[in-house]
Amino acid sequence: MAIATPRPIQFHNKPIAMAHGAGGEATRQLVEGLFLPAFANSLLDSLADAATLLPPPGRLAITTDSFVVHPLRFPGGSIGELAVNGTVNDLAVSGATPLALTTAFILEAGTPSEILRAEVCAMAAAARRVGVPIASGDTKVVEHGRADGMYIVTTGLGVVDARANLSVARVEAGDCILLSGPIGNHGMAIMLARAELDIEADIRSDTRPLVELTLALVTRLGDSLKWMRDATRGGVATVLNELARDADLLVMIEEEAVPVDDAVRGACELLGLDPLQVANEGQFVAVVAADMVDAALAALRAVPGGERACLLGEVSRGAHSRVAARAAYGGMRVVDMLIGDPLPRIC
């Protein structure tokens, strides 16, 4: 990998000013004083208009995500860490390994440099964890009151594993639905961090890269892995509804099987929220051939952070394009896609 040791940062004690986005001398100071030393990689160091790289053979995956989370920092993570993990995870659930990221900052004038520095360092650490270089970037500054501290947009380029054959068209009745771990932690952590609620609970965002988990499934299952999606905005409920609609099949899950931490469940009950509709930043749903469920769960559970992977339900005929949850006592409910936005700017 093209990532080097971070170098000393030389960008201190100055609030962000409009000139930092003007492309002239102040932009140069920001780029050379902060971005280059923190991100430290040979692709970025060239400072050309575009980074160039020779990709390994195979299909490429490309994806973009914007991050406007409020507040910028919250228990378990921050916007910079999200901005790397979120984009890396869109590559991961596409069966791809990240090759390079690019980043665009839209900064609000007056933002203290310490706040920007903290997020740049969080991005650098998250990228380093995955071994992916931040290869190119751009910075714009808008007037005070025209943003909210900062917005970050990251794009990820990856190479699709040759063993992956993912398509919703391959999903068929009888396939099983797996979930990587407990849900609702990110959304609930953000909600509590906003301090508008009178709930005290130790809930931390689950933001993390999913590459090792998805790669474990691709490696172990090959063709028997049919579909993956990370359950971010809109939660697992929205992902399952997309699956049901796009496959035109019934998605049936067991309510009891859904892993939810006690603190999250308690907060959801107080607020009248369905954990299935609460956002995650470190969980994904996978559809696998039924005869490979045990192998898939074993592969996931062997990866640190995958211990609580579980069988969530199955895909079947009847009531096409719907998602239903079966309760332990035998009742059944329809699980809807998220409607409206109960918690804006969650990522």
The distance of closest approach from Cβ of residue 186 to a copy of itself in the complex, given in angstroms and rounded to an integer, is: 13
Q: Distance between CA 48 and CA 70 in Å, rounded?
A: 33
Based on CB atoms, which residue is closest to a copy of itself, 43 or 122?
A: 43
Interacting positions 23-62 with a copy of itself (CB under 8 A): 23-28, 47-55, 58-62
Query: Residue 107: how many CA atoms within 13 Å on its side-chain side?
Result: 28
The distance of closest approach from Cβ of residue 106 to a copy of itself in the complex, given in angstroms and rounded to an integer, is: 6
Interacting positions 142-201 with a copy of itself (CB under 8 A): 142-143, 145-148, 151, 153, 155-158, 160
Q: Distance between CA 62 and CA 84 in Å, rounded?
A: 14
Interacting positions 271-310 with a copy of itself (CB under 8 A): none
- Give the CA-trace dihedral at 260, 203, 335, 235, to 10 degrees: -120
**Residue 221 binds to a copy of itself (criterion: CB under 8 A):** no
Residue with tokens 């900064």: 107
Based on CB atoms, which residue is closest to a copy of itself, 11 or 227?
A: 227
Interacting positions 304-343 with a copy of itself (CB under 8 A): 337-341
Which span (33-41, 73-81, 104-112, 252-260) binds a copy of itself, by CB under 8 A?
Answer: 104-112
- For the chain, report the end-to-end CA distance as a whole number of angstroms: 28
Residue of 140, 163, 170, 322 interacting with a copy of itself (CB under 8 A) = 140
Residue with tokens 């991005």: 123
In the numeric block, which tokens belong to residue 345? 């700017």
Cβ pair 346, 74 in contact under 8 A? no
Residue of 3, 11, 16, 21 interacting with a copy of itself (CB under 8 A) = 21
The distance of closest approach from Cβ of residue 329 to a copy of itself in the complex, given in angstroms and rounded to an integer, is: 29
Residue of 78, 85, 97, 102 interacting with a copy of itself (CB under 8 A) = 102
Count of CB atoms situated within 10 Å of the CB of 218? 24
**Collapsing DSSP states into helix, strand and coil, what is residue 130?**
helix
Residue of 78, 136, 224, 280 interacting with a copy of itself (CB under 8 A) = 136
Cβ pair 117, 80 in contact under 8 A? no
